[in-house]
Amino acid sequence: MEEKLISKKELLEMTDISYGQLYRWKRKNIIPEEWFIKKSSYTGQETFFPRDKILERINKIKALKDDQSLDELAEQFSLKPAEILLNRDELLKSNIVSDPVLSLYERNFGSNESYDFEVIMELHLLDSIIKTGDISFDEGIKIINTYKAAKGKKEEKPLRLIYLRKYGIGVTLFGAMPFNFIVEDEAKVVIDIEMAGKIESLKTKLLNREAE
């Protein structure tokens, strides 16, 4: 499953940003370096980007840059865990996780007086995949167990979650981005999530909560 690409020239024209802005955001890690994809062309070598991701990111940057510094934007878009602790009531009030899913998590992994960002991320992920209606509670717990193992390998690149099902049997895959895959006949891709986007959405939720 290959992503659609957009050339640097098209990107600059479409978003009305300058070459300097684009590479300043790259230096600040606001736009990930792995999104700058070099490909051979008839003119020599050209830079391309994953179309949907880069357009979404630049639109967000343009919307936020007047209110936040480049360092603040880099923190929001980074994979680094946010420094935050929330108790059970705060989690539920923030709509980060639903009560049934939080209870499911606590039955399987134990409960605490407060939860740090890493655990909140697991809860956020579990809640979102169960809400699709395509994943059972048991499958959700299996996915979180695999995610915990994948995090333990300390990959520096963002992870991608793939959940496949064939003849009722599910398999979880976590891999470092970017990677492409081919699915065998009669197997179905049930879940396909880039974890960088999940981390970003969670940080946004938490920032909005603090601003209220």
pLDDT band for 190, please (50, 70, 90 cuts): very high
Assign domain 5-77 to a CATH class. Answer: mainly alpha
Report the C-alpha gap between 165 and 118 in whole angstroms. Answer: 27
Give the torsion sign (CA, 39, 62, 73, 146): negative
Amino acid at 4: K
Report the C-alpha gap between 168 and 165 in whole angstroms. Answer: 6
Strands 85-86, 115-116: pairing kind: antiparallel
Q: Say what the pTM is.
A: 0.73
Range with the lowest mean pLDDT among 6-10, 79-83, 85-89, 171-175? 79-83
Angle at 34 between CA 149 and CA 16, to 5 degrees: 135
pLDDT for 31-67, tens place per residue?
Answer: 988 889 988 877 678 999 999 989 999 998 998 888 8
2 in Cβ contact with 180 (< 8 Å)? yes
pLDDT for 65-94, tens place per residue?
Answer: 888 888 888 888 877 777 889 999 999 988
Report the C-alpha gap between 76 and 63 in whole angstroms. Answer: 14
- Hey, where are the domains in the chain? 5-77, 85-211
